[in-house]
Amino acid sequence: MYNDCHVHFCGTETPDAVLRAMDIAFIKRIGALSPDPKQDAAQQLINVEAFSRILQSAPDRIIGFCWLNPTLQGSADLAEHAITDLGYTGIKLIPHHWHAYDENLIPFWERLSSLKVPCIIHTGILWGYEDSSRFCRPVDFEVLIKYSGI
């Protein structure tokens, strides 16, 4: 049996289909990312809550990371809700036209720090997103040193 630490979901999967596919591939455990939050706060909430049903179907086999866009309204609250109520283990972020050092993200980083959970942040070129290399630079994340819980 194997582990897979970075599995993307699109939002159409069912718990039974996921577990069946894992068994066929001899996958014991996965680190799963909720579907792309897009650029819409309502869709982000729907994705995070819907994906939690997959996480809750097999918490011993599916380790969930809540993919959020921190620039969307309510993202800090949703991060906390995902961790404390929905069974997520950590947060996934892809800088899509935002920089970690943007001052308007300070409340988000403070909330994430207080949760003290793993945070995966994409760095480098991101295929499928225009102009991604300008936003996914590791040096831009130095500001997060101030937030010890992240």
* Residues 65, 67, 72: CA angle, nearest 5 degrees: 145
Per-residue pLDDT of 68-87, as tens digits, reads: 999 999 999 999 999 999 99
List, in order, residues 6 or more apart from 144 with CB less than 8 Å away: 100, 109, 150
- Band (pLDDT 50/70/90 cuts) for residue 126 is confident
| Global confidence as pTM | 0.92
- DSSP codes of every residue in 20-46: HHHHHTTEEEEEEEPPP-TT-HHHHHH
Per-residue pLDDT of 19-70, as tens digits, reads: 999 999 999 999 999 999 988 999 999 999 999 999 999 999 999 999 999 9
Q: Where are the alpha helices (DSSP H) in the chain?
A: 15-24, 41-57, 75-84, 106-115
- Band (pLDDT 50/70/90 cuts) for residue 91 is very high
Give the whole-angstrom CA distance, residue 35 versus residue 33.
6
pLDDT number for residue 96? 87
Tokens coding 1: 């049996």
pLDDT number for residue 149? 83
Mean pLDDT confidence for 121-141: 84
Mean pLDDT confidence for 90-104: 94
Average pLDDT of the chain, as a whole number: 94
Tokens coding 90: 């950590």
